Structures are given as C-alpha cells and as structure tokens.
Chain A
Amino acid sequence: MGAPGFDVERIRKDFPILARELPGGRPLVYLDSGNSSQKPTQVIETMRDHLAWHYGNVGRALHVLGSESTDAYEAARDKVAAFVSAPSRDEIVFTKNASEALNLVAYAFGNPIGEDERFRIGPGDEIVISEMEHHSNIVPWQLLAQRTGATLRWFPVTDEGRLDIERLDELVNERTKIVSIVHQSNVLGTVNSISPILARVREVGALMMVDASQSVPHQPVDVTELGVDFVAFTGHKMVGPSGIGVLWGRRELLDAMPPFLGGGEMIEAVWMDHSTYAPVPHKFEAGTPPIVEAIGLGAAVDYLTAVGMDQIKAHEKELVAYALEALREVPGLRIIGPRTAIARGGTVSFTLEGIHPHDVGQILDDVYGIAVRVGHHCARPLHLRFGIPATTRASFYLYNTTAEIDALVRGLHHVQKVFG
C-alpha cells in the first residue's frame, strides 16, 4: 500500500525513537502524534549543530555568532512563510505555541492602546467560536468576553461530529467582531470547511481566525487560499520542537494591532515615559525568542516539504480509512467523530462500553507499548456535548503503519478481556 513514492519504512528510519524498546522489551507503537509528534534526525541534528557551533543571541549581537544565529533564525521564518504560502515573511510571528498565538490576537481586541475600529469590542459585540474547540481556542475568548462585556457564542456540533452551520447567518451577524474556528478537530478528526463561514464573516465585516494546530502538520495549508485573517499553529506537532509556535496574520492587521508583550527587541525607541515599537513581526516578539526551537522548526518544515505534504496527507488518509474499518470489529466501540474518511484527518477518538479510557490507555501502554491519549484532550465542552467524560484517542502521522493499527485492535481486545 501507500501513496506512490511514499516509503513509510524509510521514513521511520529518520525517527530514532521509533526503534527504541520500552521497559520489558516491548516495541513502541506511537499513536499520539496529535498530542505531540516525534522528531526526525534532521531536526535533532540541526538544533544540536546550532547549539554546538553557532549559538548567540539574535537581532542584537554584532559578533559572528550573533549574526549566524540571527541568519538561521530569520531563515526559519522564511521557511515557515513559504511552507504556508504567506504573502510576506513579516507576517510570520514566532510565539511559544499556538495558545500564545491565539492569546496574542485575543488581547489585541478591546485594548485601549489600539485605535483600529476592527479591534474595538464591548457590550453588545459578539465573539463566535465552536463547540469542537480545544481549550486554547475557548478560554482566551472567554477572557476577552469577561474583560470587555462582549458576548461569547458558538457553533454547535452534529451527532456525526461535524460543525453545524445551519444557523450561520444568525450566529455570525453585524454584532460579530471575530470568529475563531479550528481547522481540524484534535478529537473528532473533522476537517472544517472554512469558506462558507468566511463568506458570512466578510459579509458582516468581522475578522476570522483559524486554529490550524492539527491541520498544518498533516495537509498542505495555504493561508492565502484559506483567505482568513489569522492562523495559529505549533512546532511540536509538525516534527519540530516544543516551545515554538506561529501566528500568521495579514500584514495590515498586524500593523494595526497593539503590541502584546513588552520587552527587549520589540521596540524602536524607549524613553522613560513612552516607547515606539518595532515593525512586525518583531513588534510581537518581545525578549529573547526560542532561537534554537525556531531553527528546529525551520528544519522540520524542510523535512516535511522534502517528503511532500500531499504524500503525507494521502498516507494518513489511507491509515484512517484502514483504522475506521478495523475498529468496527471491536465490540462496544463507539467512534466519536466522522465514521468515514471524508473531510477528516488521522485522529480517531472512541469509547469502549463499560471501560474507562484511563484503564484502556494503561493496559495498551503496559502490555503492548501502545501510546495513545486518554481523557478529554483539552476539549471538555465537546465531550460534554457527547455526554461522555473522556475518550481514548489514536492519532496518526507520516511514520505510522497499518501494522500499528492492527496492534491497537489486538490491544483493545485484550483490554476487554481484563475488564470484561
């Protein structure tokens, strides 16, 4: 099987951790990439090499090391910009994670420092999210609503795990200031169609943000094609390191926004009683940034590009179709999310009748070395909507195989034997 030219066994060799043995001689079956992905040698070595031979602070050190670090850090920005087809490299803001990127935008609203009408918000104004959001795309907007008196509203989710946009015209209206929606759900796997929502957002003159933490790692994402105003994603889910995230925003909006954090390198000039700010993206990168992490993300982007995002998407589509079929034979297993491989990514969450996900995860790990995630996956409201406290989630990436899905199914049969 496999997409033409895609050799999963060759890819697995790039990820040293996949060959390790767990205590007791169990091989590792890593099905938790939706949580955080593993790292290829190319990323590890790039970071190691930079730390060993080039490291200095960026943007402010005049010596050789400082300029080598600055060059590598800024080259990473170029790579990320190209990876998501950003019209300008200055539209790529490095943050520490996707949460920070989402908060950065949320804090631009209702900030008295800002003068742009589009970011003014108060009582009577509305913010729209959805019931399938990760907490990082819920809580920043709750906080914004609390700070400003604005109203938080949300799209419901259908029983099949799709975004329910039947009431789109009512939910997104003249009072709406921002709509922030996940591109691919971290629980359901659902890939949301952005364009119908965006069309309405434009009609009412609001702004739109997309949380692409689970889509940018797994499919080609072109921010211009997407057409929204802001996109957030994170390095550690796309074979890069943790500690580095990305905010892409339309230049003209980033320029209009007030700074987020104040500190070194985000300024133009400072007096004792006021400051002027650096142009974007540096306006939003206060303090010494995660230098080696950004460079690692650049290497990750190189790696994914060399493999091919179309190839990765096709491989994961095969995996999820295989998994959805294979899991049907486990009695009492209920998939939470779309049961067909259409408009969904390689994330499959499920419940096993009468057995708590923590018990499922523990047995899978201890007996079979299968790493899955259990719990509410930082999407508690979505679980409440389905009337369940938690799920077990298997999430796939470019290095996973159908044999690993077979192991999962065997493991689940064993779990049922222990608790049956």
Chain B
Amino acid sequence: MIGESMYQELILEHYKHPQGRGLREPYDAEVHHVNPTCGDEVTLRVKVADGGKVLDVSYDGQGCSISQAAASVLHELATGSTVEESLSVVDEFTRLMQGRGTVEPNEEVLGDAVAFAGVAKFPARVKCALLAWMAYKDALMRSQS
C-alpha cells in the first residue's frame, strides 16, 4: 500500500476542510495556473503590505486532493509571514517535490508541508502538489513588478 502513505492524514484533513479557500479583495496580483496533463487549475491572489508582509493568499480551484490540500497548506504557511520567508519555504518545498523521494525534508522550514514528502515518489503527482505553490511564486513576482 505505497499510495496510501502518500495520503497522509494531514493532507486528507486539508482536502476535506480547506483553509482560506475563496477569492478575496483586496489583492495586488491574481494568477491562473493549470496543469495541462490533468486539468487541475487554481486561481490565486496575493496581498502584500508595504513592509513585505503577506497579508492574504486567497485561492479557488479544482483538482485532486493533493493539489487542493497543497493550496490550503500554502495559505496557512504564507499568510502572515514575509515575502522573503515564504519564498524560502516555496524553494524548500520545490526541492523536496523534485527530489524523487531522495531529499531529506527540512521540517523546520516546511512545517505542515512536510506531509507532502511521500508525493515526491510519484512523478505524475508532483505537479499537483506544486500547482498552487508555483502560482504563488508567480503572483508574488507580479505584485512586486
């Protein structure tokens, strides 16, 4: 039962009870990302304060439990942190996801996102986990340009 280890309780919990879901005002940038191989999609907005604090990450979308739970976890981790801090989490998460299951996750940086470690062993699902996180990175860049 390799796969069920991918579906950590925390992931299922976020999937069934997504945090911060729904698009909100005000926002600095909005992006729409899709995963063309499976049709998963996410629309994501960010609001950043002058001091670089992330005031809100709001999102809406459709997709599998992995992609939707990843968006929910992202919302929790990014909201209230600084742009710089959250980008370092995004980098660590990306490194973990692209590590084909060989990367030892840095739990201190990742927090709840460490629950996705098992997904890295399933190349077909890595894009699902990264969808919202890449959208977030993109939205931050647009908000600052």
Contact = CB atoms under 8 A, between A and B. Distances in A.
Contact of B65 (A359, A366, A367, A390): A359
Residue of A24, A383, A418 with most chain B CB atoms under a 10 A cut-off? A418
Residue of B2, B7, B15, B39 with most chain A CB atoms under a 10 A cut-off? B39
A316 B3 CA distance: 31
Contact of B4 (A358, A363, A375): A363
A383 B39 CA distance: 10
B64 interface: yes
A251 interface: no
Interface in A322-375: 356-359, 362-363, 365-367, 374-375
B37 interface: yes
Given A362-B125, A419-B12, A356 B63 contact: yes
B41 to A, nearest CB: 8
B1 A358 contact: no
What band does the interface of chain B fall in when counting residues whose beta carbon is under 8 Å from A?
20 to 34
Main secondary structure, interface of A, reads helix
A418 B7 contact: yes
A86 to B, nearest CB: 36
A367 B38 contact: no
Interface of B: 1-4, 6-7, 12, 15, 37-41, 62-66, 68, 122, 125, 128
Given A359-B66, A362-B122, A366-B1, 10 more contacts: A23-B2, A362-B3, A363-B3, A365-B3, A367-B4, A375-B37, A375-B38, A375-B39, A389-B40, A419-B12
27 contacts: A356-B64, A358-B40, A358-B63, A358-B65, A358-B125, A359-B7, A359-B66, A362-B6, A362-B122, A363-B3, A363-B7, A365-B3, A366-B1, A366-B3, A366-B4, A367-B1, A367-B3, A374-B38, A380-B39, A389-B38, A389-B41, A390-B38, A418-B4, A418-B7, A418-B12, A419-B12, A419-B65
Interface of A: 23-24, 356-359, 362-363, 365-367, 374-376, 380, 383, 389-390, 418-419
